[in-house]
Chains A and B, each alone.
Chain A
């Protein structure tokens, strides 16, 4: 008796693990996928373009990107009726390692017209206080004395400075912090919402999210790498400038049903 139960159970397990999903999907909802692409103005940029001084920023410095990874969270679909669908959680895009370039949330989205699709660049302050093992495991942490939590973005590379020497820069975006030490204070939020605009979801949809890297150095603050190149994490003013420049960095690319 006991044996045949075991057998039955095992056979069931075999079928359920190898079989197709039998769930008839009658709900009108669709999977969405976000595809992250990167540009330097009109130029498409991938990890293959890293490590060479081939970009020129608004301030006129020649520069390269060697490492670029950033965090987005709380992707939100907004309907006309004000009902938001929020996808909890965060996603790390690592352009250097070509990982995380697509993000497929588990949650399917009811089909229909959405007046806005948005996400948070980085993590909001509450989310930034949690312990995330995936982000610890890839060393994305911010030191405790700077308030802890995580980097929003790590962009490292080289530029040619005003003395015509090549030197490194570390454009690391985090939560702006003052009074670095055991009781840090936070002058102003530096995570921000990116509004991609309206998207219609009729069936499975791929949404392209574009990042124009040049914008980090341009708008509204023309970035002078000779002045701001490293040790920017404990520099709250620099963090606020980054956050301001970040607002125009992202845009909606093609939407493919």
Chain B
């Protein structure tokens, strides 16, 4: 019997015709398919899960423990969840955040949900990280974030009373490495799925929109009013983001070059990733630097606060007049619609809370 499992393992390895070790640990752990919301299943391509890091029960459990554990930071005062807090849809409530040494970063913490549907796999506000696994490497060693180093973290995990068993359950009897650590974190992050807002229920026929929310949806979809849908999704793209990079007219000159710093191309200066407009009720303040405290300020920005620059997106209209000039009723209704995309069940899901 034992010999057969070895054989099966070998065959599996050969079958995948690749060098990665995923098949090896698939044999020790239990697959855990993502819970895909019905509106995603109906409308979107499958989420991206690398062959080298399949989702497993043991991997996700380990990733969750790591995500909430301060052991990943230099002085063990910070975990990922310190900045990415479940009550704020895995974001926080300040414009920028302090790392363990009290130094503030320059960017607003991004909320974490539906990351596996980022098909271009460009993460961070400026697209500087190219996969969830690789993204997880940086906060640990970033001096203004968790300010640790991976050798220390790996040795602390290896000498810990519980982690060695948890890693073995998830990945097999291999030494703990930073690669395995980030794989586990990424598996947990991929389970953070939000697709159960009032608007989702409306799409499924289980809720009705108020007249305000209905009009707000029209403002959002109307090329002559909000025209938000070209960048922020639609009922047919229920991610409510295009996961692309745009300059939405916040500034006429840029303290932070955004995508331009990543690509080195000046025409990318001032471009940042369109955030999903899901869960806005929990993710204030808004924009890459957290400059707006309320949704009203955001709407006023698009309506009358646009700043011109050479890289401003051509979809930003009436820049001379500061924007699309929404009437007060349309502004209020747009806000009501935006809030219908917030998903309280995402905050209270016991699978996501420590």
Stretch of B8-16, B93-101, B130-138, B168-176 at the chain-chain interface: B8-16
Contact A168 B314 (CB under 8 A): yes
B236–A131 CB distance below 8 A: yes
Q: Enumerate A32-75 residues with CB–CB distance to B below 8 Å.
A: 50-52, 66-67
B236 lies within 8 A of A67 (CB): no
Question: Does B222 sit at the interface, judged by CB under 8 A?
Answer: yes
Q: In the complex, which of the residues B17, B224, B319 contacts A167, with contact meaning CB atoms closer than 8 Å?
A: B319
Residue A162 lies at the interface, judged by CB distance under 8 Å to chain B: no
Residue from A7, A51, A136, A232 in contact with B44 in the complex, judged by beta carbons closer than 8 Å: A136
A232 to B230, CA, bound (A): 14
Chain B minimum-CB-distance residue to A135: B236
- Given contact pairs A131-B43, A134-B45, A139-B242, A158 touches B7 in the complex (Cβ within 8 A): no
Residue B317, interface by CB 8 Å: yes
Are A143 and B222 also in contact (CB < 8 A) when A3-B4, A10-B8, A17-B17 are?
yes
Closest Cβ of chain A: how far from B183's Cβ, in Å? 25
- The verdict on B316 contacting chain A, using a C-beta distance below 8 Å, is yes
Chain B 116-134, CB-CB to A under 8 Å as 1, else 0, gives 0101000000000000000
With an 8 A cutoff between CB atoms, is A22 at the interface? no
Does any Cβ of A come within 8 Å of B223's Cβ? yes
Nearest-Cβ distance from residue B156 to partner chain A, whole angstroms: 40
A152 at the interface (CB under 8 A from B): no
Residue-wise, chain A 228-252 has the 8 Å CB interface mask toward B (1 for contact) of 0011111000000000000000000
Contact mask B208-227 → A, CB, 8 Å, 1/0? 00000000001001111001
B242 engages A144 (CB within 8 Å): no
Does A1 reach chain B (CB closer than 8 Å)?
Answer: no
- A139 B234 Cβ-Cβ under 8 A: yes
B334 to chain A, nearest CB (A): 15
Q: Which of A51, A145, A168 contacts B315 (CB 8 A)?
A: A168
Contacts of B258 in A (CB 8 A): none
Instruction: Evaluate contact between B119 and A158: CB separation under 8 angstroms.
Output: no
B315 touches A143 (CB 8 A): no
Is A122 an interface position by the 8 A CB rule? no
B224 and A231 form a contact (CB under 8 A): yes
Report how far A234 CA is from B8 CA in the complex, Å.
Answer: 59
Chain A CB count within 10 A is highest, among B218, B222, B230, B311, for B230
State whether the Cβ of B111 lies closer than 8 Å to any Cβ in chain A.
no
| Distance to closest chain A CB from B58 (angstroms) | 24
> How big is chain A's contact interface, by range?
35 or more
A-side interface mostly: mixed
* Chain B residue contacts of A18, Cβ below 8 A: 14-15, 17
Bound CA span A4–B244, Å: 51
Bound complex: CA A141 to CA B119 (Å): 17
User: Does A13 sit within 8 A of B, measured CB to CB?
Assistant: yes
Number of A-B contacts (CB under 8 A): 98
A115 to chain B, nearest CB (A): 37
Query: B177 near A: Cβ within 8 Å?
Result: no
* A133–B242 CB distance below 8 A: no
Q: Mark B32-50, 1 if CB is under 8 A from A, else 0.
A: 0000000000111100000
B237 within 8 A of A: yes
* Contact (A170, B314) CB under 8 Å given A134-B45, A137-B45, A138-B242: yes
B263 CB, min distance to chain A CBs, angstroms: 12
Residue contact A131 to B14, C-beta cutoff 8 Å: no
CB atoms of B223 and A234 under 8 A apart? yes
B76 to chain A: which residues have CB within 8 Å?
none
User: What B residues does A17 contact at CB under 8 A?
Assistant: 15, 17
Partner of B222, one of A6, A134, A136, A145: A145
Please, which residue of chain B has its CB at the minimum distance from the CB of A18?
A: B17
- Contact of B45 with A133 in the complex, beta carbons under 8 Å: yes
The residues in A between 11 and 42 inclusive whose CB is less than 8 angstroms from any CB of B are 11, 13-14, 17-18
| Least CB separation from B317: chain A residue | A230
Q: Which residues of B contact A169 (CB under 8 A)?
A: 314
**Are the C-beta atoms of B234 and A168 separated by less than 8 Å?**
no
B237 A168 Cβ-Cβ under 8 A = no
In the complex with contacts A145-B218, A169-B314, A137-B229 CB distance below 8 A: no
- Interface presence of B267 (CB below 8 A): yes
Whether A136 contacts B15 by the Cβ 8 Å rule is no
Binary CB contact string for chain A from 98 to 136 against chain B (1 if under 8 A, 0 otherwise): 000000000000000000000000000000000101101
Do A14 and B313 have beta carbons less than 8 Å apart? no
Give complex CA distance A24, B235 in Å: 47
A240 to chain B, nearest CB (A): 17
Using Cβ atoms and an 8 Å threshold, which residues of chain A touch B231? 139
A66-B224 contact given A10-B11, A137-B237, A139-B237, CB 8 Å threshold: no
The 5 A-B pairs at the shortest CB distance, nearest first, are namely A168-B314, A51-B267, A143-B221, A156-B314, A10-B11
12 A-B pairs with C-beta separation under 8 A:
A6-B4, A136-B237, A137-B237, A139-B242, A145-B222, A156-B315, A158-B314, A168-B314, A168-B316, A231-B223, A231-B317, A234-B223
Q: Contacts A145-B218, A168-B316 given; 12 further ones with Cβ under 8 A?
A: A10-B7, A11-B11, A14-B15, A136-B44, A137-B44, A137-B237, A141-B234, A143-B221, A154-B230, A165-B320, A168-B312, A231-B224
